[in-house]
Amino acid sequence: MNQTTTFSVEYHRFLRPDGEPEGDLPPLADDAETLHALYKNMVFTRLYDERAIALQRTGQIGTFASSLGQEAIGAGVGHAMQPEDIIIPSFRENGALLFRRFRVRDLLLYWGGDERGMANPDLGDDFPICVPISTHTTQAAGVAFAIKYRQQPRVVVCLLGDGGTSKGDFYEAINLAGAWNLPLVFVINNNQWAISVPRSLQTKSETLAQKAIAAGIPGIQIDGNDPIAVRHHVAEAIEKARGGGGPTVIEAISYRLCHHTTADDATRYRSDEELEAHRKLDPVPRLKRFMEARQLWSDEQESVLIRDCKAEIEQEVQHYLDSAPPKPESMFDWLYAELPQELHQQRQSLLVRESSND
């Protein structure tokens, strides 16, 4: 006896790299406000990244991860989420975080080596940046369970990279999301590199989206440099989850136009040709051309936007630079709700040392 079960993964794109539409566009493509919001977030993120790299070069923050070339993912995800939804990010989701309630000063504090960067009370339930790859994915399942348990109409969005899909954590998380039918959307930024390791060495699977099949949940591929595709398909998955339809894995195909971080030199391991080829797929000019062709964007709007973004970023940078240094004893003060007895002595010894250093 033979029987065959089949599965499939779909790939979606609305805008060609040159900004020309292909096939039917979703309603949001006609909504200037949405397009402007997406575009603004991408431009702002790119300018922020640039500025942050400059701050790193001058020793004003530490190692920094840019999202150059991948801004459509952050913008699309950020815009697709409702304020009450919860984002559980990795560390390269600058645009998505900025779309939510993270401020540039928060992010600079974090990359400047200061825990206060993730402390802003306005962040609500949004998770802090997660550095250990994919460890946040199972947490996302726990958060999604809590939401479901409380019957709240909220959705969790968890972001990770292509490299992150190789870790057992990711698989365990999507498996639980499926088994428990959780309101949870995973968005993979497949920027095709995990530091120096290309996508082809991570896995033999033809797509990353098909990893969802292992969990019995839907997985789709989208052009991650098409902001309209990202916004549309992420929103669709979020609303499906909100309606009780369960989890989705979305592989957004993009490309890391930058070094891995400021501590990395990508020329060691990838060719200029490859990089140049991918510059042509840049999401920012793609959306701009689309808007321009529809008379939804002008040179003047562009220059106003850039001027405004820069001004806001500078203000935020100044805020960051003006921030008082963290108190040494703060490493004790947030460790537990109440400091255990045995740590009073250690805390005290730190204070004594500090004051004797004055």
Partner 1 sequence: MTDITLVEAVNLALMHEMEHDPEMVVLGQDIGVNGGVFRATVGLLEKFGNERVLDTPLAENMIAGTAVGMAVQGLHPVAEIQFMGFIYPAIDQMVSHASRMRNRTRGRLSCPMVLRAPYGGGIHAPEHHSESTEAMFAHIPGIRVVIPSSPTRAYGLLLAAIRDPDPVVFLEPKRVYRLMKQAVEDNGEALPLDTCFVLRPGSDITLVSWGAMLHETQQAAEQLAGEGIDAEVIDLATIKPIDMQTILESVGRTGRCVIVQEAARTCSVSAEIAARLAEEGLMSLFAPIRRVTGFDTVMPMFRLEGHYMPGTERIVQAVRQTMEFA
Chain contacts with ligand TPP (rule: CB under 6 A): 92, 131-133, 161-164, 189, 191, 193-195, 256, 260
Is 36 noted as a catalytic residue in this protein? no
Residues 260, 278, 286, 320: which is the catalytic one?
260
Which tokens belong to 207? 């797509």
Residue 203 contacts its own copies per CB under 8 A: yes
Catalytic pick from 100, 136, 231, 256? 256
Determine, following the binding rule CB under 8 A, whether residue 215 of this chain makes contact with its own copies.
Answer: yes
> Closest separation between CB of residue 189 and ligand TPP, Å?
6
Rounded to the nearest whole angstrom, what is the least distance from the CB of residue 245 to partner 1 in the complex? 19
**Least distance to ligand TPP, CB of residue 253, Å:** 12
- Which listed range, 9-17, 44-52, 66-74, 340-348, lies at the site for partner 1 (CB under 8 A)? 340-348
Measured between its terminal Cα atoms, the distance across the chain in Å is: 83
* Polymer length of the chain: 358
Closest CA to 186 of 243, 255, 233, 124: 233
DSSP 15: B
Binding-site partner at residue 5 among its own copies, ligand TPP, partner 1, none, CB < 5 to 8 Å by type = its own copies
State the DSSP H helix or E strand holding residue 197, giving kind and residue range, or none if neither: strand 197-198
Among 33, 149, 151, 206, binds its own copies (CB under 8 A): 206
- Which listed residue (17, 26, 142, 285) binds partner 1 by CB under 8 A? 142
- Token couple for 55: 């701050």
Tell me: does residue 11 bind its own copies (CB under 8 A). yes
Task: Transcribe 61-130 into DSSP letters.
Answer: S------TT-HHHHHHHHHHS-TTSEEE--SS-HHHHHHTT--HHHHHHHHTT-GGGGT-GGGTTPPPP-
Give the C-alpha separation, 105 to 86, whole Å: 20
Instruction: Give Cβ neighbours of residue 211 (< 8 Å, ≥ 6 apart).
Output: 165, 170, 171, 174, 203, 205, 219, 249
Q: How far is 185 from 167, CA to CA, in rounded Å?
A: 18
Find out whether 41 and 93 touch, Cβ atoms under 8 Å.
no
Contact partner at residue 92 from ligand TPP, Mg ion, partner 1, none, CB < 5 to 8 Å by partner kind: ligand TPP
What are residue 128's phi and psi, to 5 degrees? Answer: -70, 165
- We find the least distance from the C-beta atom of residue 197 to its own copies, in angstroms, to be 10
Shortest Cβ 296–its own copies spacing (Å): 22
Spatial separation of the C-alpha atoms in residues 145 and 177, rounded to whole Å: 9
Query: Residues 100, 148, 154, 211: which binds its own copies (CB under 8 A)?
Result: 211
* 168 scored as a contact of partner 1 (CB under 8 A): yes
Stretch that binds Mg ion, among 49-57, 190-198, 301-309, 344-352 (CB under 5 A): 190-198
Q: Which is nearer to its own copies, 34 or 175 (CB)?
A: 175
Task: Assess 25 for contact with its own copies (CB under 8 A).
Answer: no
Nearer to its own copies, 150 or 204 (CB): 204
Q: Which of 269, 307, 344, 353 is catalytic?
A: 269
The C-alpha atoms of residue 32 and residue 29 are separated, in whole angstroms, by: 8
Q: What are phi and psi of 176, to 5 degrees?
A: -70, -40
Binding site for its own copies (CB under 8 A): 1-14, 16, 22-23, 166-172, 175, 178-179, 181, 201-207, 210-211, 213-217, 223
- Which residue numbers are catalytic? 256, 260, 269
